[in-house]
Structure 1
Amino acid sequence: MKKTILRSAALLAAGLLTVTGCSANAKSGGTADGNYPSKDVRLIVPWAAGGSGDLTARTIAPLLEKDLGVNVIVENKPGANGSVAYNWLAEQEPDGYNLAMMGVEVATLQFMDYDIKPENYAPIGQGLAGPGAIAVPVDSPFKTLEDLIAAAKAKPGDLTFSSPGIGSVWDSPAAGLQQLADIKLTSVPFDGSAPAIAAAAAGKVDFSIDAIGSQKIQVDGGHLRYLAMLTDERDPDNPDVPTAKEAGVDLQNASWVGVMAPKGTPEDTVKKLSDAMEKATGDAGYQQVITSSNLVPTFKDSTEMAAFIQDEAKRYGPWIEYAKNNTK
């Protein structure tokens, strides 16, 4: 009897270990679901409503619904440079039912002591790029980028700029501007592009750096004025605005937005989502919405996007290190 009890206990312990092991490893690798998707998909936006990432999500969601045959529910989850949403996604089951829009922060936050690294996620695809610009309040005394740089040199640290958060896609090139022009600026971070641009339009900061398209509403409304384009050549829609390069600062930058899933999402699921996203980004309606916002519709599949994110980390890393040591 004693031996039987001991043997039963050992078998029970082994069974518990097996179950526990399966549970612990559930998030390291999902199991392919031949019926995927069979329920609603949630698409998280790490930024406040109104920015290019939010626009992309709300434009692409109904197109994904058409291809996937289920609802794609968009939910904003802003905060802490996007890390609130990024951390949330990393904790979800890798089954394809929880996704998030992501930008360059997935590559840059690792340089700011966040436990967020590209390898924690499975890229699905990139949906757009947004060339950047420096803009000032419409009544700003700065008529050119040279004017702004001269003022920053005269009073180091006095000039302020708004950004979607330190280490973000638009805060980091400000570090590049400081480095290239040998000036010191003060960053005023916000939870997303929309409130950051609104602050500049209201004259609460001296300038903003953000996507041309994201700033366009405030420019068209007479609240902001483009000062310089962060593009290789002048923007065809704003031919009178010089590039930063023309002002002697060879600074170029563009935001981008893509969709990511948790690490371990089955390859078949990633492929199905990536194919759906490729169709969505090729849709004429999607392209019209994106281009009318001065953004560039683009597509990179999961493999291309993974390589691109690694390249972005190499590009932004030095800028962020400079900002940590030189920006107030």
Structure 2
Amino acid sequence: MPEDTSTEPTRQTVLSRRNLVKAVGTTGLVATAGCLDSVSSQLSGQQSWPSRPVEIISPWAAGGGADRTSRAVADAAENHTEGTWNVSNQTGGSGSVGMNAAANAKPDGHTIGCMAPEIALFEHLGIADLSPDDVTPLMQYTEFPAALVVRKDSKFKSVDNWIAYGQKNTIKMANSGFGSSWHMAAAAIADEAGVKVEHISYDGAAPAMTAVANGEVDSTAVGAAEVASQVKDGNLRALGVAFDEKVKSLPNTPTLANEGLDIRIGSWLAHFAPPDMTESRKQEIVDVYNSVYEDDGFVEFMNNNGFIRVKRSPKELQQFLQEQYEYYGNLVDKLGISKQ
């Protein structure tokens, strides 16, 4: 359940509003009533929200899960606010470029960032001075397990083929950037399988999948929902999913556990605001996100595209981020992944 973080207006604001009404008198009340919310915002030092287009920054390339779901959020948000919502792609640094841009924006609610497990990895890998402590969590809205993916006509017809080859040869494996959640997933799967891998970085899951489809690399690990359409109608094949059970987006793909690899790993997506945002502004945005999560169009998009809907409130998400920070720190140490 979403946390109740509503705030009461301060006594000073209430008194100022009452004094204003008394000052204009009864005859001026009708003309002034429509302006009271604007005046109250000015008295509290805040403009109304949104007063201009809201920008969601996706830190990875167009076509990946962060981009597609953020656009679905933006479309739904326009049904619940007066104004437009846009998505921009600011790629690089395994997502740190876009996340830093959002974290360093003015905390007025008009710039929102998309984050994933990378926010818990940057400091551990020396990628960026950015951690869960540097953002205002708004809401997690999805998670998706990793899928081990190859080209459709690949010589790897099964997980066993992939393992047998990788134990004697080096497998070229694309990821969405050094230190990204899909780099970690690939490294963890390779470690469990005991195969040799050369990790090759791209600016997101979509370019990584394209590299596999074009034959530039042998395989990749990306979100099951992200790759589902290309498995169904494109040039890719999923060998296994790192989850407890088969997933709806890849119904014919076995779990890696069933293929002999005892591993469960993946990613999640959430939106955040810059730090130092007022509680009242944060609550305005969270209220909209609560409506977005239940919006018919958003629910339909998520279901039709195989994205698992998982909701965490700001308080729950903050705790989860701290747990992720510790988890990925331990995983980096275990896998022996060097800092940049």
TM-score range, shorter chain: 0.7 to 0.9
* Structure 1 residue 317, shift from structure 2 partner: 2.2
Q: Tell me which stretches of 4 or more aligned residues in structure 1 moved more than 3 Å.
A: 236-240, 321-327
One-letter amino acid of the counterpart of residue 129, structure 1: E
- Scaled by the length of structure 2, the TM-score of the pair is 0.81
C-alpha distance in 2 between matches for 1:133 and 1:223: 15
One-letter amino acid of the counterpart of residue 107, structure 1: A
C-alpha distance in 2 between matches for 1:273 and 1:244: 39
C-alpha distance in 2 between matches for 1:167 and 1:323: 12
Residue aligning to 1:308: 320
2:225–2:249 CA contact under 8 A, matched in 1: no
Residue aligning to 2:206: 194
Residue aligning to 2:23: none
1:161–1:187 CA contact under 8 A, matched in 2: yes
- Segments of structure 2 that go 5 or more residues without pairing to the other structure are 1-43
- 2:110 equivalent to 1:97: yes
Trace 1:106-145 onto structure 2 (pairs within 5 A): 106-113=119-126, 114-145=128-159
One-letter amino acid of the counterpart of residue 54, structure 1: D
Select which of 156, 159, 163 maps to 1:149: 163
Identity of aligned residues (%): 29
TM-aligned CA distance change 1:236 to 1:85, over 3 Å: closer
- 2:98 equivalent to 1:85: yes
One-letter amino acid of the counterpart of residue 194, structure 2: D
Alignment partner of 1:154: what SS? coil
- 2:89 equivalent to 1:69: no
* Structure 1 residue 224, shift from structure 2 partner: 0.8
Residue aligning to 2:188: 176
* Structure 1 residue 322, shift from structure 2 partner: 4.4
Alignment partner of 1:159: what SS? strand
C-alpha distance in 1 between matches for 2:210 and 2:178: 17
- Scaled by the length of structure 1, the TM-score of the pair is 0.84
Q: Which moved more, 1:228-237 or 1:74-83?
A: 228-237
TM-aligned CA distance change 1:68 to 1:33, over 3 Å: farther
2:57–2:99 CA contact under 8 A, matched in 1: no
List per-residue Cα deviations over 1:44-103 (Å, max 9, x = no partner). 111111111111111111322232312222211111111111222232222222111111
List per-residue Cα deviations over 1:107-149 (Å, max 9, x = no partner). 1111111211110100011122222211111111112212211
Residue aligning to 1:288: 300
Residue aligning to 2:217: 205
List per-residue Cα deviations over 1:163-207 (Å, max 9, x = no partner). 101211111012212322233211111001111111111121111
1:111–1:321 CA contact under 8 A, matched in 2: no
TM-aligned CA distance change 1:45 to 1:128, over 3 Å: same
- 2:290 equivalent to 1:278: yes
TM-aligned CA distance change 1:326 to 1:34, over 3 Å: closer
1:270–1:302 CA contact under 8 A, matched in 2: no
* Structure 1 residue 34, shift from structure 2 partner: 6.5
C-alpha distance in 2 between matches for 1:211 and 1:32: 42
Q: Which moved more, 1:110-119 or 1:35-44?
A: 35-44
C-alpha distance in 2 between matches for 1:135 and 1:184: 16
CA RMSD of aligned residues (A): 1.9
C-alpha distance in 2 between matches for 1:269 and 1:32: 11
One-letter amino acid of the counterpart of residue 164, structure 1: S
One-letter amino acid of the counterpart of residue 167, structure 2: K
* Structure 1 residue 300, shift from structure 2 partner: 1.3
C-alpha distance in 2 between matches for 1:235 and 1:323: 27
- 2:59 equivalent to 1:46: yes
Alignment partner of 2:270: what SS? strand
* Structure 1 residue 36, shift from structure 2 partner: 2.9
One-letter amino acid of the counterpart of residue 298, structure 2: Y
